[in-house]
Amino acid sequence: MNRRRMDRLFTNLTWLAVSICCLVLLFLFGVITWNGIRAINLEFLFTASKNFGAEGGIFYQIIGSLLLVVFAAVISFPLSLGTAIYKSEFLKNRFLQRLSNTLIYGLNGIPSVIFGIFGLIFFVNVLNTGISWFVGSIILAIMILPTIVLSTYLSINSIPKIYRESALSLGMNKWRVICRVLLPQGIGGAITGVLMGLARAVGETAPIMFIATAFSGVDVPGSLFEPVTALPTHILALSQQATNKQALLNAWGASLVLLTLVVIFSVSALFSRIKLKTSSVR
């Protein structure tokens, strides 16, 4: 009887833990949607902000955010693919394999503000690039590198050995085996990684606020070395004008748009992972 009671207690405790997690998420979603939806209309989405964001919309913020993360992905994707292929197919030394894992996980664990400071000191001050969206993309690319590398590595490395051996035994060299056997089967994992990376990068504030973004008076950049304005930094700026009701409403609206972008990227990553699992014949 006692044992049964303990069993039930633990079941209930785990159930409680799950419920709290879900409720916190639902609460956040609920509050942001409830407040944000009142700010959102076509005008808000498709006009530029005025008066430090207190009036007008967030058009250029959306464009800026997408520009930053898309270029981050463009920079990060080939690097990650190369790293994952090298780790999976060429790096046979166990010590180096472990070392590379530690370094990649380490890179993943670095607080985002450190990336921002690094970008500020190295690019903006030492290389004298000035505030530049492209530098922001580079920093975001470094940040999402571990996510894409690990996802790609896992998907390439999990392709059964017999596929490699079957291709090699037809006289293919390693490069052709990689291009024709491993990449077609492993690319899904890379895409999942990119989408997960995008979901993370689009919401980051600290890495870009010193080096890539300006708070107002910016539209679509004409060159690599111009600032943009992005959603997370815009929300930060608006929330500091706590006395202005319209500015706060716009902050909620921008938050909802940002959250929607994160959800779109995350759900796409989820679907691409599910598709990967069901379509690959392993």
Partner 1 sequence: MNRSTVLKIIQPAPAGEPLPVVEAQNFNVWFSDAHILNNVCVSFGEHQINCIIGPSGSGKSTLIRSINRINDEVEGFTPEGTILLDNKNIYDKSVDVNRLRREIGIVFQKPCVFPKSICDNVLFGLPRSRKMPRREKLQIVERNLKAVSLWREVSHRLNDRAHSLSIGQQQRLCIARTLTVNPRVILLDEPTSSLDPVSTRAIEDLMLKLKEEYTIIFVTHDILQAKRISDKLIFMCNGQIIEQGSKDKLFTNPEKKQTWNYLNNEYCEC
**Binding interface with partner 1 (CB under 8 A):** 92, 160, 162-173, 180-181, 184-185, 280-281
Identity of the residue, 4 or 95, whose beta carbon is nearer to partner 1 in the bound complex: 95
- The H-assigned helical ranges of the chain are 2-36, 42-46, 59-85, 94-109, 112-119, 133-157, 161-168, 174-177, 183-202, 206-209, 231-239, 245-279
Which distant-in-sequence residues (6+ apart) come within 8 Å of 159 by Cβ? Answer: 181, 182, 185, 186, 282
Least Å from the CB of residue 128 to partner 1? 48
Identity of the residue, 27 or 90, whose beta carbon is nearer to partner 1 in the bound complex: 90
Identity of the residue, 47 or 164, whose beta carbon is nearer to partner 1 in the bound complex: 164
Least Å from the CB of residue 129 to partner 1? 43
Least Å from the CB of residue 178 to partner 1? 13
How far is CA 121 from its chain centroid?
23
Least Å from the CB of residue 165 to partner 1? 6
Maximum pairwise Cα distance, the chain: 74
Least Å from the CB of residue 114 to partner 1? 37
| C-alpha neighbours within 13 Å on the C-beta side of residue 231 | 24
Identity of the residue, 5 or 94, whose beta carbon is nearer to partner 1 in the bound complex: 94
CA distance 201 to 233: 13
Identity of the residue, 50 or 180, whose beta carbon is nearer to partner 1 in the bound complex: 180
How far is CA 215 from its chain centroid?
22
